Amino acid sequence: MHQRRRPVHRLGDLLPGIASQLGLDEELRKARAISSWGRIVEEQVPPASGASQLLEIRPPVLYVSADDASIGQELRLRSAELLDAFATAPGGQRLLELHVVLRRPRGRQSPEPR
């Protein structure tokens, strides 16, 4: 006896439908956008890799963090190419402005005043 094989589906193809059924499609979109931002920064601004996180998408603005002023400045200087890459990335969208917020990484203490 031969059993009929069910078609094989990739998990990545199934997730959006399942997330939607569970009411988690917005969270999945956010997770994809956060992951995409990390990859974009790693590829386009290597010194900022790991030093910038996506904070919020509030069209037409993309809010991101930078661990220090030099990283923030580099992100601002490359904002047009970063926004273009984000527009075509999974979870991304076309936005017009990049707003960089300086944030000290967790666990890092500020220097003691003298």
pLDDT of residue 2: 67
pLDDT of residue 113: 46
pLDDT of residue 21: 78
pLDDT of residue 28: 84
**pLDDT per position in the chain (114 positions), as tens?**
567 788 888 877 777 777 777 777 788 889 999 999 999 999 999 999 999 999 999 999 999 999 999 999 999 999 999 999 999 999 999 999 999 999 977 665 544 444
Written as one letter, the residue type at 46 is: P
Domains of the chain: 11-102 (3.30.300)
Both structure tokens of 3: 């059993």
Calpha distance 8→94 (Å, rounded)? 33
pLDDT of residue 25: 78
Calpha distance 64→71 (Å, rounded)? 11
* Angle, CA of 58, 11 and 38, to the nearest 5°: 40
Question: Alpha carbon of 80 to those of 3, 6, 49, 60: distances in Å?
Answer: 55, 46, 18, 13
Farthest CA pair distance, the chain: 83
97-102/54-58 β-pairing: unpaired
Specify the pTM: 0.75
